[in-house]
Structure 1
Amino acid sequence: MKESLPMARVLTRTHTGDYFKFLLGHSRRNLPVVSRGVAALLLVLAVVVGPAAPAAAQPSLAEIEAELDAQWLKLEPVIEQYNKVRSELKANQKKAAELDKRIAPLSLQASLAADEIGEVANSYYRTGPSSELNALLKTGSPTSLADQLLVLDRISKRRQQQIAAVVETRDRYLAERQALDELIAQQKAQDEELAEKRKTIDAEIDRLEQARLAAYRTTGYSGGSGASGPCPAESVGGAAGVAVGTACAQIGKPYVWGATGPNAFDCSGLTQYAWASAGVGLTHFTGAQWNQGQSVSRSEARPGDLVFFFSDLRHVGLYIGGGMMVHAPRPGQPVQMENIDNMPVVGFKRVG
């Protein structure tokens, strides 16, 4: 019996098809024998293969969502720090461009003025004063060459003082430009460092998101779509009404970190986009938006106010009344309505 088991393994792997052909080739009078042979073969196969090993338990949807939430708690502060660096970098690059516009004419003005002094002096000493300068000198009634030279010297000194003022302003701008260049270089380095850190966590988020989508396909569930009900929960007019209406119109669009619309958003990108439609500029960074608004209590909150979450201000939504907001939650969850009490509220800010 010990020797027959290896033969059975060989049979099942290489000769199963030939064996069944052999069995089927027998005449009908040998059918009972064939049946007994088939039964014996099936018994051997059952012994060799054995019962199937139990499949590893797949995580439930709730477990996958919980793991995604845990990973998101790590990633969202990184993204907001990235948004901070990016917004500051853009602001400083804009300042640098504005300084360049101021520096260029000042440099030209100083250069032209210096050239002008040189030309006047050279012309005077080479050919005598021009008719314009001669008229100016005669206005002071100079009676001698020494008097004429004194007048010219005074003109030159006044012009030099003007040049000195121009050069001083230009040099101050150049110093500011140099400081900005250093800051921009630091921010670019921070941007690259955060990008690398974000890649690591993004890869894990993507892995979990694929597991989440697979679980949804298995169960036929399409994933959470946020709270139902009218949007906005309370009607409001003016600029706040425009912002709220714009936010409500984005429901269902995907979350993409760093996105500011119109096809995808992150949390501060959505609030920036909503209020931009009402003519109010917000920085694409939750911390900056916190400082751009006026604090209001929860009892005073009204549609259009920004509502912030967590002690580090990592998340923001647009309040729409009735304890509800529109926000961009995280990857895998589109822009949606949600009860503000599903996260720890730290405050409300009014803009516009």
Structure 2
Amino acid sequence: MPVATMPPHRHVPGLSARPGGLRRVAQRLLVLVAAAAVGAGVLAVPAQAEPSVDEIEAQIDKQWEQLEPAVEQYNKVRSQLQVNRKKSADLQKKIEPLALQSELALTRVGDLASRYYMSGPSQDIGALLVSAKPDTLTEQLTVLDRLAAQERKEVAGVLAVRAKYDGEKQKLDALIATQTKQQNELAAKKKQIDAEIKKLEASLPKTTIKTAGCPTINGVASTAAQKAIKTACQQVGDPYVWGAVGPNAFDCSGLTQYAYKSAGIYLTHYTGAQWNEGKAVSRADARPGDLVFFYGDLRHVGLYLGNNLMVHAPRAGRPVTVASLTMPVAGFRRPG
């Protein structure tokens, strides 16, 4: 009976009979398959499309909706602050001669006290004006009752007037402190939003844009309005800078203030105040040179040119320009 024989073992080049060799070959095959898959795009992650210029501009506009009311509120507080600081300074000037009168009265009271040295209340009299405060006037008058009628009348008058002005100055100082705090808070808010706008603007492609001046204007316009329009149009292309009133940069109410200042008409650097500093006119009766305001909170203002056009300082990142009235119009005002 023949004996069965095993077929001879074939050696495949590159393969080892050992299990470890098989594992290494398998690993190399996996690497090759993965590389092929990547090359074919099987494992590729879809690239996220970069936002377009229009999309970035839309994001900036959205941010600006938050920023512009804060900027105009800042302008409001700052203009009020300037007025109240002047009031405080004027009041201080009025108080200074009262202080001199008090010193003179104190000298006369001292003379009186020396005459009453043996029998009068010299210490009370000497301290009368040193501790003069509005809330101690009643106590002071008690001491005044011990003085002669003429001295009592003179010193009481000085104390009353000084108490009045001290009280008014305390109110003003408190108001200025409050407004200074508001101004700092608004500036901090503006800085935060401005930083976000700067990030968005950094992604915009750099382009050179040549902007023509204002178009030919046909319509009725006063001499002051003509001067204001000419001045505003000369600023086309100048950058928007919040809080700026020229001559080389502007915010919206800063531009209208600058334009009318050249015509001898002063407007406050705040849209809310400018709204009340001119005569109300309807849209149908609006003329070139009128101020046109936008949104219910009057957050923006431009100089009307007629034909549904205006020259204005739009926002950060956009220079002074001529544009159509596309924003919600709140009304028109005629300065002068």
TM-score range (shorter-chain normalised) is 0.7 to 0.9
User: What pairs up with 1:1-352 in 2 under 5 angstroms?
Assistant: 2-4=26-28, 51=41, 54-116=46-108, 118-119=110-111, 157-158=149-150, 160-212=152-204, 214=205, 217=206, 222=208, 225=211, 229-230=214-215, 232=217, 234=219, 236-340=221-325, 342-352=326-336
Q: 1:93 to 1:47 in 2, by over 3 A?
A: same
Kindly provide the amino acid, as one letter, of the partner of residue 286 in structure 1: T
SS of the aligned residue for 1:308 comes to: strand
Match of 1:29 in 2: none
SS of the aligned residue for 1:102 comes to: helix
Once the two structures are overlaid, the 10-residue window that deviates more, 99-108 or 115-124, is 115-124
TM-score (norm 2): 0.73
SS of the aligned residue for 1:85 comes to: helix
Deviation, 1:157, is: 3.8
Contact 1:243-1:304 within 8 A present in 2 as well: yes
Kindly provide the amino acid, as one letter, of the partner of residue 66 in structure 2: K
Kindly provide the amino acid, as one letter, of the partner of residue 291 in structure 2: L
Quick one: distance in 1 between partners of 2:164 and 2:197? 48
Q: 1:282 to 1:320 in 2, by over 3 A?
A: same
Deviation, 1:347, is: 0.7
- Spell out, residue by residue over 1:21-47, the C-alpha distance to the aligned partner (whole angstroms, 9 max, x if none): xxxxxxxxxxxxxxxxxxxxxxx9876
Quick one: distance in 2 between partners of 1:203 and 1:49? 41
Quick one: distance in 1 between partners of 2:261 and 2:154? 44
Quick one: distance in 2 between partners of 1:323 and 1:265? 22
- Spell out, residue by residue over 1:256-279, the C-alpha distance to the aligned partner (whole angstroms, 9 max, x if none): 111111111111111111122222
Quick one: distance in 1 between partners of 2:219 and 2:116? 81
SS of the aligned residue for 2:104 comes to: helix
Quick one: distance in 1 between partners of 2:38 and 2:250? 57
Quick one: distance in 2 between partners of 1:121 and 1:48? 105
Deviation, 1:196, is: 2.3
- RMSD value, Cα: 3.2
The percent identity for this pair of structures is 54
Specify every segment of 5 or more residues in structure 2 that has no aligned partner in the other structure, as ranges: 1-24, 118-147
Quick one: distance in 2 between partners of 1:351 and 1:205? 33
Match of 1:15 in 2: none
Deviation, 1:231, is: 5.6
Match of 1:16 in 2: none
TM-score (norm 1): 0.70
Deviation, 1:48, is: 6.4
Kindly provide the amino acid, as one letter, of the partner of residue 271 in structure 2: T
Once the two structures are overlaid, the 10-residue window that deviates more, 235-244 or 106-115, is 235-244
